Amino acid sequence: MKKLLSLLFALTMILALVACGNTEANQSQGESDLSYVQGNGKLIIGYTDYAPMNYTDESGTFTGFDTELATLICEKLGLEPQFVEINWDTKEVELNAKSIDCIWNGLTIDPERKETMEITKPYVKNAQVVLMKEDAIYNGTASLIGKTVAAEQGSAGEDTIKADDNLKQASYVPKTLQTECLMELKSGTSDAAVLDLTLANTMTGEGTSYADIIIVDYLGEENYGVAFRKGSDICAEVNKIFDQLVADGTMATLAEKYGLDLAE
Amino acid sequence: MAILEVKDIEKHFGTLKVLQKIDFSLEKGEAIAIIGSSGSGKTTLLRCLNFLERPDKGSIIVNNKVIFDAMDPATQRESEVRKKRLHFGLVFQSFNLFPQYTVLKNVTLAAELLAKERPNFKQEKKAILKEIQDRGKMLLSQVGLSDKLDYYPHMISGGQQQRVAIARALALEPDILCFDEPTSALDPELTGEVLKVIRNLAERNTTMIIVTHEMDFARDVADRVIFMDDGVIVEQGSPQEVFGNPKEERTKQFLTRYKKD
Amino acid sequence: MNQIPVIVGRLSESFLLNCKLFALTLLFSLPLGLLIAFGSMSRFRPLRWLVRTFVWIIRGTPLMLQLIIIFFGPGLLDMPFSWPSGASGRFVAATVAFIINYACYFSEIYRGGIESIPAGQFEAGQVLGMTKRQIFFNVTLLQVVKRILPPVGNEVITLVKDTSLARIIANKEIIMMAGEYSSKGLIWPLFATGIYFLVFVGALTLLLDWLENKLSYFRT
């Protein structure tokens, strides 16, 4: 009897946590997200190691398109940028638990994500691409039925696989990082991977450690945005600054530096 | 004057009555043997005297002072009980030596801890500890173990361990030394050495209560014998009376069983 | 190939996180476990029930889950308390989760050890006029230590490996660091982490053996 009671007690606690996790992100307590981060004096930016958006170069400097952009925008907002490395598959939990204030790491905008987070307007163009070894045979997504396809857990690539009628019938391998999918391809444990175009451009092909991996297909264009907690007012501020930076050409210069295309 | 008076002791565990109407007294220098079959309550009685069990009724009087009265909660406070235990020494059936200490340290440990409570301990620490050490060595030589002072319990035989236990019990100079079937856990060849030590103590007029199955020994060494059965004292008297001319039927039955072995 | 010193440097630095977590966890969970053990042996029934239920919950759920609940819980439940931001906050949260978890495991080992000491030892102390405290420190303690050394040693060795679970809440310990390289095609750092763990556990094993040896002069 006692064991049963304590089991129920424990379950209730866990359910309460889960329920809060799902219905959280209502700033309806009145406090503005912007005044919250201004009160802290800093913006905590969640990222994963992902070239060309956030990465450490050979000289050991932490850099990347998103890194530079975020630093620039924080300056304009009068906030100290604090970059915190997180696990991609718990990014929403991190955001809602306020251990980070935004996800700024090549986040693909999609309707589902817009429901749970406040996302800025698009700033960089992206596409989900299918990658395979250069000697592999590819005839559209149908040729991958029954084969193994890798993607990063919680990523747009994963969503693409689940949404595509053919890829749905492939054997899906979830990985913690996009870059780990490249490893799978190289070692042959996966036949194909669905990743971001921006990453594929930087990390595969001539001159990289994945010289024999090529892009075989483009599965739809998409855009990157920066995600904040649902209802956050920081979003609007960042959008304004995006417009400024596009107008004065800063965005374009930065994009060229990293070989990216700006969103329309 | 009786050094120990036990009046009307009763003890039950739940609904089971283990001791009833236990009445006896002990003179200084006297040795009493308690005999009876298993389950007769002999061990429980001994444990009551050493405050390992609390009687539900009755009183225990030592040197004319009431040290326990079931009616009086003041006599049952833990802080008081600890000091009262020192009137009695107990030698267990399974020795219960402290395995992590040498033979000598087993004997001196309790005395050293008690000495710390003396008001003059800090000033005369060295002298006090030496005194305790010397006494320990003396007691161990009395039981014939002078050559084993630095041995650990697991290195010596059962009989030797029990002899150490006796020395340990004597170290605190108890008024009454109790033995709970001291040789029952020993191999037959080893009982002799322990009985010899107990006999020795009896000859020096040590006040003792010995619960035992060794009938011949009880007959030889005890000044008085108490026969218990089913939680009551059935008969008590001198060894000649109880062994030679038992009055009660139960006593006779018990003795015939033992005589057969 | 000139990458090797850099990588080894980063691996070693991140292993320091594992080591710090290990040390802090042991430092606090070993004594906390004793407190919990006493609680679970208390004569006061409500306390005993409360403590035993708590221990059951902590030992009955994965440490990984506890890490997530402890780190994300305060923020998700809008508690007035929040972990400091950045890497230090995550480390503190991980340490707290580990301490609570391991204290519960140790408490059960302690309780088993204490309860396994024959009552006769305690009674012998009693009839010799020792107080409960004196009996615990002079009679029981060393016997308990000798008995629990093997299972405690086991838990300590498990802890060394468990420290890498801290990466669940994004603490950059050695395996997460090695993951950064393995995902880019460089596999050897991941296998190299094994060497760090092996050496650490090897040293611990020597220490534990030495301790066991020191206590072998008597038998309980």
Structural contact between residues A68 and A254, judged by C-beta atoms closer than 8 angstroms: yes
Tens digit of pLDDT for each residue in A205-244? Answer: 776 778 888 888 888 788 899 999 998 999 999 999 999 9
Give residues with Cβ within 8 angstroms of B155, minimum separation 6.
none
- Does residue C55 have a pLDDT over 60? yes
Strands annotated E in B70-222? 88-91, 176-180, 208-211
Flag if C134 and B113 touch (Cβ within 8 Å): yes
Pairing relationship of beta strands B88-91 and B31-35 according to DSSP bridges: unpaired
Asked if residue C20 has pLDDT above 70, the reply is: yes
Cβ(B216)–Cβ(B259) under 8 Å? no
Give chain C positions within 8 Å (CB) of A17. Answer: 69, 73, 76-77
The answer to whether B208 and B177 are in contact (CB under 8 A) is: yes
Give the end-to-end CA distance of chain B in Å, rounded to a whole number.
39
pLDDT score, position B260: 60
Query: Residue A145, SS3?
Result: coil
Decide if C107 contacts C37 (C-beta within 8 A).
yes
Cα of C110 to nearest chain B Cα, Å: 19
pTM reported for the whole predicted model: 0.80
Residue A168: predicted pLDDT: 86
Nearest neighbour of C121 by CB, restricted to B85, B90, B98: B98
Q: What is residue A235's DSSP assignment?
A: H
Question: What integer pLDDT is reported at residue A10 of this predicted model?
Answer: 64
Residues C68, C70, C73: CA angle, nearest 5 degrees: 85
- Tokens representing B118 are 């003396």
Q: Which portions of chain A are predicted below pLDDT 50?
A: 21-29
Of the partner residues B88, B154, B172, the one whose CB lies closest to the CB of residue C218: B154
> What is the sign, positive or negative, of the torsion defined by CA atoms of A162, A165, A171, A177?
negative
Tell me which amino acid residue C184 is: K
Q: Do A44 and C86 touch (CB under 8 A)?
A: yes
Q: What are B105-163's pLDDT values in tens digits?
A: 999 999 999 999 888 888 888 999 999 999 999 999 999 999 999 999 999 999 999 99
Q: What is the pLDDT of residue B97?
A: 97
Residues A69, B238: Cα–Cα separation, whole Å: 106
Q: C41-53: b or e for each residue (b if 16 or more CB lie within 10 Å)?
A: beeeeeeeeebbb
* Rounded Cα–Cα distance for residues B31 and B220 (Å): 11
User: What are the backbone angles phi and psi of residue B92, rounded to the nearest 5°?
Assistant: -85, 155
Q: How confident is the model at residue A22, as a pLDDT?
A: 45
CB–CB of A144/A166 below 8 Å? yes
State phi, psi for B5 to the nearest 5 degrees: -125, 125
> Measured between alpha carbons, how far is C194 from A103 in angstroms, rounded to an integer?
33
Chains in contact with C via at least 3 Cβ–Cβ pairs below 8 Å: A, B
Tens-digit pLDDT profile for residues B47-102: 999 999 989 999 999 998 888 888 887 777 777 888 889 999 999 999 999 999 99
B211 or B81, higher pLDDT? B211
Q: How far apart are CA A120 and CA A104, in angstroms?
A: 10
Nearest to A85, CA basis, from A45, A131, A130, A115? A45
Best to test chain B binding among C116, C126, C128, C218 (most B CBs inside 10 Å): C128
The residue among B47, B50, B42, B54 whose CA lies nearest residue B88 is B50
Question: pLDDT at position A215, please?
Answer: 86
